[in-house]
Structures are given as structure tokens and as C-alpha cells.
Amino acid sequence: TVYYYKDRFLKGGETPVPVEDRAFNYGDGIYEVVRFHRDRSFGLQEHLERLRDSAEAIRMALPFPLEEIESIVRSAVSQVEDEVVDVYFQISRGEALRVHPFPQTDPVLSLYARPGRIYTEDFREAGVAVITLPDERWSNCYIKSLNLLPNVLAKQAAVEAGAYEAVLIRDGWVTEASASNVFGYHDGVFFTHPANRHILNGITRRFLLRAIQKLGFTVQEEPMSEEFFQNEVESAFITSTTMELMPISKINQRELHPLGPESPVWQILQAFRTL
């Protein structure tokens, strides 16, 4: 793993997180995760733009211009030799005496790049079980904030229930999952929650919407009711940078049909990969 903190790459084992970094004390910051296949990124520009938008939403300046962040990201990736590399980068509001108002200090970039977490095709064909849980997050989920406590608690509850993800329900509607977006398929139509303040507008979600449209399927950016999702959808999947598209094999107690390579969901994954 290659680590970067503030203004330099770190030597082996060195991780100097100041105790009063606001990311540490308040979760006061934002982040992104981008996947690279060698030097070809998946949607790097969109990730950088979302980072800029998240920063603006929390009224935080970026420590460097976007182009410079891009070149630090690319430099980190080039130092990992694997074919697939995942880069995590976050910006905290900086290191300052721990009082709530914004500090005068400069924001701080930290980053790591490491071999990508690849899911085997067998794992993908088997799909993953999900449970549904109440969405207990705030109303600014479009910001990719470092505050992930509700997401962590939801994911842990899923794992403890023998599932892989927690699909979140807000006022009776499926929003997204703890670390991914959610799609359902019913009667020739794909559904996913509209990109408003109740979900993170995933970059994978956006590319998949394009893939679905390119294949000529109908897609409605409309929320699914909990009842529709639980009882009606024929198939469903979750999406994220590291998972790409992951079929759902079970929603609480209901098993979903296995998804063969001839299924629309499989076709979409192939189309997505060639975008």
C-alpha cells in the first residue's frame, strides 16, 4: 500500500495522523474511491468533480487545484504494480485546536492506493444476500462525507444477519445501500432512486444508467417502495466502484432467480465494462 499525507508520500510504516485532525475528531471532511486498470481510470473526472461538489457543499476549500489532486492520485497509482488499483483519497478540514467552528488552518489531503479488491465471476454469479433496514442517515446523503457511522452500523447488522449489504428504507422507500446504490428490475423496466439529497449519486450508478439506456431497456429514476422491492422485483443489484454491478440473490427471506449470462442484468454488466 502506498500512503500519502498532507504534502508527501510516507515511508514504510509511518502514519502520522495528528490527534487534532478534524477528520479524526469530527469526521469533518469528504472522500472518494476510484478504480484504475493500470493507468486507465474508471470515471476519474466524475470522481474529481464529485469531490469538488462535496467540498463546496460543506464549505471547505480544496488544498490543491483538482488537476494537482489528479496528478497525486495518478502518481500513487503508478507506484502500485498490480493490474487493478483502488485509490482512496480524503480531504479533512485540517489540524486545529478542537473547537467546532471552522479553523483557520488549511485542508489536508490524505490518500492510499492499493491492489483492487476483485470479485470473482463465480461470486458475482452467485450474487449476494441483502437485508432491509431503516435509513437512519441525515438529509444530505449526496455529500460523500467522512461521517459513515450509520453506514457502518447498517453494514455490520447485515453481516451479523449473514447478508452482504443493508438496503436502506426511508419513509417506506428504498434509497440506496450502506455502501452502494440499488437497482431493481420488473416487467422490462429498471428502477433506481433519483439522484437527490437522499442518496449518493454513485459514479457506477451513472455509468450503469448509460449502459441500460444504450441497450434499449427502459429505466425509471423513481424510488421503489419497500413492498415492491421486497415482493415484486424479478431481479435486483447493487453498484459501486469496487463491486461494479453485484446481483442480489436474496432480499431478507425471499430468494431471487439466479442470474444467468443471458439475463438482462448480465448484458448490462458487459455493456458497462465497455463504456
Between CA 147 and CA 150 the distance in angstroms is: 8
Select from 131, 203, 209, 233 the one that contacts ligand PMP (CB under 6 A): 203
Report CA Rg, the chain: 19
Helix (H, G, I), strand (E, B) or coil at 112: strand
Least separation, in Å, of the C-beta of 33 and ligand PMP? 6
Of 94 and 127, nearer to ligand PMP (C-beta) is: 127
Return the active site residues. 144
Select from 202, 223, 246, 256 the one that contacts ligand PMP (CB under 6 A): 202
Per CB under 6 A, does 181 bind ligand PMP?
Answer: yes
The span of 67-75, 177-185, 188-196, 260-268 binding ligand PMP (CB under 6 A) equals 177-185
Q: What is the DSSP letter of 180?
A: S
Least separation, in Å, of the C-beta of 174 and ligand PMP? 12
Between CA 191 and CA 218 the distance in angstroms is: 9
The span of 17-25, 152-160, 172-180, 219-227 binding ligand PMP (CB under 6 A) equals 172-180
Tell me the number of residues near ligand PMP by CB under 6 A.
Answer: 14
Cross-strand bridge partners of residue 21: 95
Of 242 and 263, nearer to ligand PMP (C-beta) is: 242
- In one-letter notation, the amino acid at residue 22 is R
- In one-letter notation, the amino acid at residue 168 is L
Assign 3-class secondary structure to 124-147. HHHCEEEEEEECCCCCCCCCCECC
Least separation, in Å, of the C-beta of 255 and ligand PMP? 25
Per CB under 6 A, does 35 bind ligand PMP?
Answer: no
Least separation, in Å, of the C-beta of 96 and ligand PMP? 27
3-state helix, strand, coil in the chain (%, to 5): 30, 30, 40
Select from 4, 94, 205, 233 the one that contacts ligand PMP (CB under 6 A): 205
Sign of CA dihedral 274, 205, 41, 156: negative
120 to 159: interface string for ligand PMP, x by CB under 6 A: -------------------------------x--------
Are 112 and 4 in contact by the 8 Å Cβ rule? The answer is: yes
Per CB under 6 A, does 92 bind ligand PMP?
Answer: no
Between CA 185 and CA 132 the distance in angstroms is: 17
Least separation, in Å, of the C-beta of 242 and ligand PMP? 7
Q: What is the DSSP letter of 164?
A: S
Give residues with Cβ within 8 angstroms of 216, minimum separation 6. none
Between CA 184 and CA 234 the distance in angstroms is: 8
Are 63 and 91 in contact by the 8 Å Cβ rule? The answer is: yes
Per CB under 6 A, does 180 bind ligand PMP?
Answer: yes
Per CB under 6 A, does 192 bind ligand PMP?
Answer: no
Per CB under 6 A, does 54 bind ligand PMP?
Answer: no
Least separation, in Å, of the C-beta of 203 and ligand PMP? 4
The residues of the shown chain that bind ligand PMP, judged by CB under 6 A, are 33, 151, 176, 179-181, 200, 202-205, 239-241
